[in-house]
Chains A and B, each alone.
Chain A
Amino acid sequence: MKRYNIFYFIGQAFAGLWRNGVMSFASVAVLMSCLVVIGGFSLIVKNIDLNLEQFGNLNEIVVFCNTEATEEEIVAVGEQIGKLDNIASIRRITKAEGLAQMKAEYDVYDDVSEENNPLPDSYEITYVDTEKVGELDYQLHQIEGITKVNNRLDLATSIESVKSGVMLIFVWFLAILSVVSVFIIINTIKLSVFARRHEISIMRYVGATSWFITLPFIFEGIIIGLFSSVIAYFAEWYIYSYIETMVMADLQMISILTFAEIKNTVLFGFMGLGVVAGIIGSSISLSKYLKS
């Protein structure tokens, strides 16, 4: 089997893109926009994950014992907690440790001493299954000697539901924008095929294989994909850096990944998506040539 020169196909692909300049430009613009939006949503999801991690122990419950409780009663509370299902770990914080922690965090409590310490003893509990946390909360309330149960269930639920909502929108956008991107590439390649129909018919008569005929168009799709992904990368960089600066200045509570940390993921992700969209688009528009 004879070897074809790859540069011949790439040259033909560029010629095709040039010949249908307006449509090629439209394809790049649409695919680039789709990639930026898809990338934007991915980054939102990634940052939510980061913040969830940093909220840290959302699967943590703190229970406070009665301030009047004796040492034996406090130990008994700990033992009862330890017998419950869904408990991953349990750690006692004595009133003295509690005060030390408070003093370390807030200097306004300097006048509070061990003698007039108003804090009760407490237990920090981590649990295994978030879905059963309601049950655990109820069981803790039933233990004698516990006066207060603090959990972060509401916060965890809120963040999880925001994440689920964003994910749902992300998946929809991903599906719709992928279809739009592929559709516009199909049209561009179809125009290119139409412009070269005369050439293609001659190719067929002189014995060109289907692959020889279709490869330039596949390359055309790949070039559109690559070109769009590189532009999308820089656009995403600019937009993300702007948001990053804004968040860092005004919303210091929220952690945000720097673009440097994610640039390779964004670039190669975009390139992968762009090339796949290009190949799918051109393959669909050329399916009849590949079959014959």
Chain B
Amino acid sequence: MIDFVNVKKAYPNGTMALKGVNLHIDEGEFVFIVGHSGAGKTTIMKLLLREEKISSGQLIVGGHDLAAMSNYKVPYYRRELGVVFQDFRLFPKKTVFENVAFAMEVVGTPRKKIVRRVPAILNTVNLAGKQDSFPNEISGGEQQRVALARALANNPKIIIADEPTGNIDPKMSLEIMSLLMKINKLGKTVIVVTHEKNLVDYYKQRVVMLKDGLIVEDHVGGMFQ
């Protein structure tokens, strides 16, 4: 599903963010990508989202060679991904329903299908009954669940979560992680970028550790060392 082959990434200012990463992620896997600041986690996110291009090596996601992908194909590629951010990135003036529906509107989903699907997704993330609330009327954990619902809206094969528990309390963090596990069990590949040791250690999934732009550990059922 995802293949990094000797991937290197240098930024225009000379920073070498990745120095030769080799990583294979199978379809349906759950992977934590961990590491301290500057380890290269954000760069991996940006490369997966095709926000940045690799400098050398090869990066294949879902059969797409991201280095060779032309810019006009990027939006269609991103529809195969669901993204969750630390800061939720919800529209404050849209309701929960509208926030989730928005992801479907931008890809041209017919209104009838949106009206049918959004409540079902909200049910999956335990937000049934909150669809008319605005983001400022719900808790941080609930906001992150809305973001998760939006990531699921277009039924992507891969979910990428960038520090999904960074802005919520520990109890809510467990709830979000449980949801991500639940989504993984539905057959989605889930990649969680985090530096929260407790969560990583608790869930005992595959852990890929980055340090100075290189993978230093990769263990199934691993711990955040």
Is B89's CB under 8 angstroms from A208's CB?
Answer: no
Report if B108 contacts A (CB, 8 A): yes
Contacts of A106 in B (CB 8 A): none
Chain B residues with CB under 8 Å of chain A are 49, 71-72, 75-79, 81, 83, 89, 91, 102-103, 105-109, 111, 150, 153-154
Is B71's CB under 8 angstroms from A208's CB?
Answer: no
Is B91's CB under 8 angstroms from A206's CB?
Answer: no
Q: Is the interface of A mostly helix, strand, loop or mixed?
A: helix
What is the bound-complex CA distance between A199 and B150, given in angstroms? 14
Contacts of A206 in B (CB 8 A): 78-79, 83, 102-103, 106-107, 150, 153-154
Contacts of A212 in B (CB 8 A): 75, 106, 108
What is the bound-complex CA distance between A3 and B106, given in angstroms? 11
Report if A83 contacts B (CB, 8 A): no
Contacts of B108 in A (CB 8 A): 2-4, 212
Contacts of B150 in A (CB 8 A): 206
Is B105's CB under 8 angstroms from A8's CB?
Answer: yes
5 residue pairs, one from A and one from B, having the closest CB atoms: A2-B108, A207-B79, A208-B106, A207-B78, A206-B103
Chain A residues with CB under 8 Å of chain B are 2-5, 8, 198-199, 201-210, 212, 291-292
Contacts of B81 in A (CB 8 A): 207
Contacts of B49 in A (CB 8 A): 205
Contacts of B75 in A (CB 8 A): 204, 207-210, 212
Contacts of B102 in A (CB 8 A): 202, 206
What is the bound-complex CA distance between A201 and B102, given in angstroms? 13
Contacts of B76 in A (CB 8 A): 207, 209
Q: Which of B71, B79, B91, B108 is most buried by chain A, counting CB atoms within 10 A of its CB?
A: B108
Given contacts A212-B106, A292-B71, contact A202 B78 (CB under 8 A): no
What is the bound-complex CA distance between A199 and B79, given in angstroms? 17
Q: Which of A198, A201, A207, A291 contacts B106 (CB 8 A)?
A: A207
Q: Which of B71, B75, B79, B83 is most buried by chain A, counting CB atoms within 10 A of its CB?
A: B75
6 A-B contacts (beta carbon < 8 Å): A198-B91, A202-B91, A205-B89, A206-B102, A206-B106, A291-B71
Is A204's CB under 8 angstroms from B78's CB?
Answer: yes
Distance (whole angstroms) from the CB of B184 to the closest CB of chain A: 20
What is the bound-complex CA distance between A204 and B83, given in angstroms? 11
Contacts of B72 in A (CB 8 A): 209-210
What is the bound-complex CA distance between A2 and B76, given in angstroms? 12
